[in-house]
Amino acid sequence: MQDSTTRRFFMGAAAAVSATRVWGANERVNVAIVGLGGRGTNHLNIYSRLQEARVVGLCDVNQAARERSQATLLKNTSEKAKEFEDMREVFADSGVEAVSIATPNHWHALAAIWAMKAGKDVYGEKPACYNIYEGQKMVQVARDTKRMLQIGSQHRSNPFKMRAMAAVQQGLIGKVYQAKGLCYKRRVSIGHKPDTPTPAGVNWDMFLGPAPLRPFNELRFRYNWHWFWDTGNGDIGNQGVHELGIARWGLSEPEWPKAVYGHGGKFAYDDDQETPNTLTANFDFGGRELVFEVRGLLTGAEGAVPQMGRRPRPNAPNTPEATAPKTAPPLNIMVGNLFYGSEGWAAMSDQGFQAFKGESNELIMEERPERGAGPGGGDPTGLHMQNFLAAVKSRNHKDLHDEISIAVLSASMCHLANISYRVGRKLTLQNGPKFVNDAEATKLLTRDYRKPYVV
């Protein structure tokens, strides 16, 4: 990190954090997108089509990603944006009013904290944080700076899910005693790859940021960073955090559990992945429980959660699974939630919601997604971003659908499950995120940060 960059960032932060703005009803918020991979490209496409936003900045450690995004923005809006390699330059730019962060997990907290301290409002991708300590710091900084901080759990802005969860909380199936989250998302083996020189145009030091310095490896870069502890949290912290958040929602948002037990393993494959591809976690909230299952291997149906015929993401381009003919049959995945109450049960997925009551399993409520409604042809991410931009103008964090204090608890459940899995035992909690007599587990509440990227 260059000293000049540090000085510019903190000088900009000191000036911006004191700034106030009264918004006109039709004014557009100047947004910069930090992280231009798959999810960041989705951010770009949605913001560039929203009347409430103007994309003024594109930031990524990869020059090729910036160039691709600039071409996409030009196609969508006939305009170009400033390009940045270092996110601190984005935060120091007075022309940027809000940032949308789609970096790997290990950058989520530090990027959001830097941005808020520089006076920017933040839309950040899930999970809210890479570890539990970071989540606590994010809540603190959001309150201290009075910045808006929305996390991208877009189901919170999905109209049919909002209606369904309101009904469950109001007693649709009686008192909910168990919520079960399912993350059966097919993942193929990532294989093995050797370390190589860093490709031209990639700032590998900035990509690693708070993580330990390691040689460049393709498997630790695009998308597959999810499966390494340095940068990701496995699928429970990737796809799973969505369903874990919905499970907490249906349980009326409990805070910290009394105990957690996560167990599983990396089964079937011999590859470089570190995180488990099969994980079951039990959370004891006293009188009710949350059960969560991750399964990246072949699976069958469960309850009323439908299977979806979708090909697996080709994590490793040279694996037999990824190079199979396009005419090969689709591999099933199943992602959703089941709720069990004293008077009935319910099932939720992106395909819809159904609730059943009594011994006869009478269908008492059914909701389906509104196709074609809202930005992106019904994609709730657009509605979620509109909610964020509205809160930027209202300056009331209670207007946010997935405000940071909610999102941090959902992410923390993922981290608790992973900690239990990694130490290999059930963990008892006391006074919030504190383990009883377990120094090994306590150490995993945070990480050893690589200077100067310290939360």
Same domain, 125 and 178: no
Select from 416, 379, 339 the least CA-distant residue to 168.
Answer: 339
Residues 6+ apart with CB under 8 A from 104: 35, 207, 225, 226, 231, 232
Query: In this structure, is residue 452 part of a structural domain?
Result: no
Select from 206, 200, 214 the least CA-distant residue to 2.
Answer: 206
Q: According to the model, what pLDDT value does residue 316 have?
A: 43
Which contiguous run of DSSP H or E holds residue 278?
A: strand 278-284
Q: According to the model, what pLDDT value does residue 205 have?
A: 97
Provide the pLDDT confidence category of residue 6 given band limits of 50, 70 and 90: low
3-state secondary structure of 310: coil
d(CA 393, CA 33): 19
Query: In this structure, is residue 166 part of a structural domain?
Result: yes
Residues 386-417 pLDDT 10s: 999 999 999 999 999 999 999 999 999 999 99
Query: In this structure, is residue 317 part of a structural domain?
Result: yes
Of the two residues 357 and 302, the one the predictor is more confident about is 357
Tally the C-alpha atoms within 13 A of residue 151's C-alpha that lie toward its C-beta. Answer: 25
- pLDDT higher than threshold 90 for residue 67: yes
Query: In this structure, is residue 13 part of a structural domain?
Result: yes
- pLDDT higher than threshold 60 for residue 137: yes
State what percent of residues in the chain have pLDDT above 90. 83
Q: Which of 116-125, 201-210, 326-335 has the lowest mean pLDDT?
A: 326-335
- pLDDT higher than threshold 50 for residue 310: no
- pLDDT higher than threshold 70 for residue 210: yes
Query: In this structure, is residue 228 part of a structural domain?
Result: yes
Same domain, 132 and 255: no
3-state secondary structure of 195: coil
Q: Which of 14-18, 104-108, 180-184, 248-252 has the lowest mean pLDDT?
A: 14-18
Residues 316-343 pLDDT 10s: 444 434 433 344 434 457 899 999 999 9
- pLDDT higher than threshold 80 for residue 362: yes
Which residue, of 119, 140, 155, is where some domain finishes?
Answer: 155
Residues 140-184 pLDDT 10s: 999 999 999 999 999 999 999 999 999 999 999 999 999 999 999
End-to-end CA distance of the chain: 16
CB atoms within 10 A of CB 195: 12
Query: In this structure, is residue 447 part of a structural domain?
Result: no
Q: According to the model, what pLDDT value does residue 95 have?
A: 97
**232 within 8 A of 246, measured Cβ to Cβ:** no
- pLDDT higher than threshold 80 for residue 374: no
Same domain, 162 and 110: no
Of the two residues 2 and 80, the one the predictor is more confident about is 80
Same domain, 126 and 205: no
Residue 305 dihedral angles phi and psi, to the nearest 5°: -80, 120
Same domain, 204 and 150: no
Provide the pLDDT confidence category of residue 17 given band limits of 50, 70 and 90: very low
What mean pLDDT do residues 103-110 have? 98
Q: According to the model, what pLDDT value does residue 305 have?
A: 72
Which residue, of 117, 135, 155, is where some domain finishes?
Answer: 155
Q: Please enumerate, as own/partner, the contacts of 366-369 that have beta carbons within 8 Å and a separation of 24 or more.
A: 367/160, 367/161, 367/163, 367/164, 368/160, 369/158, 369/160
State what percent of residues in the chain have pLDDT above 70. 87
Going from the C-alpha of 63 to that of each of 32, 34, 138, 229, 315, the distances in angstroms are: 16, 13, 29, 26, 22
Q: Taking CA 354 as the corner, what is the angle to CA 405 and CA 178, rounded to the nearest 5 degrees? A: 50
- pLDDT higher than threshold 70 for residue 377: no
Same domain, 162 and 144: no
Same domain, 233 and 200: yes
Tell me the CATH number at 143. 3.40.50.720
What mean pLDDT do residues 180-197 have? 95
Same domain, 62 and 190: no
Identify how many contiguous H helices and E strands the chain contains and give both numbers: 12, 16
Q: According to the model, what pLDDT value does residue 372 have?
A: 61
Q: Taking CA 138 as the corner, what is the angle to CA 446 and CA 442, rounded to the nearest 5 degrees? A: 20
What mean pLDDT do residues 18-36 have? 81
Residues 232-290 pLDDT 10s: 999 999 999 999 999 999 999 999 999 999 999 999 999 999 999 999 999 999 999 99
Q: Using the 8-state DSSP alphabet, how is residue 314 labeled?
A: -
What secondary structure does DSSP assign to 4-58, as a single string?
HHHHHHHHHHHHHTT---PPPTTPPEEEEEE--SHHHHHHHHHHTT-TTEEEEEE
What count of residues does the chain have?
Answer: 455
**How many distinct structural domains can be found in the chain?**
2
Provide the pLDDT confidence category of residue 5 given band limits of 50, 70 and 90: low
- The whole-chain average pLDDT of the chain stands at 90
Q: According to the model, what pLDDT value does residue 18 have?
A: 40
Same domain, 38 and 185: no
What's the predicted TM-score (pTM) here? 0.90
Using CB atoms within 10 Å of the CB of residue 194, give its burial: 0 to 12 exposed, 13 to 18 middle, 19+ buried.
exposed
Same domain, 211 and 110: no
Query: In this structure, is residue 396 part of a structural domain?
Result: no
Tell me the CATH number at 198. 3.30.360.10
d(CA 266, CA 269): 7
Which residue, of 106, 126, 155, is where some domain finishes?
Answer: 155
* Domain span at 77: 3-155
Same domain, 232 and 310: yes
Query: In this structure, is residue 400 part of a structural domain?
Result: no
Same domain, 334 and 433: yes
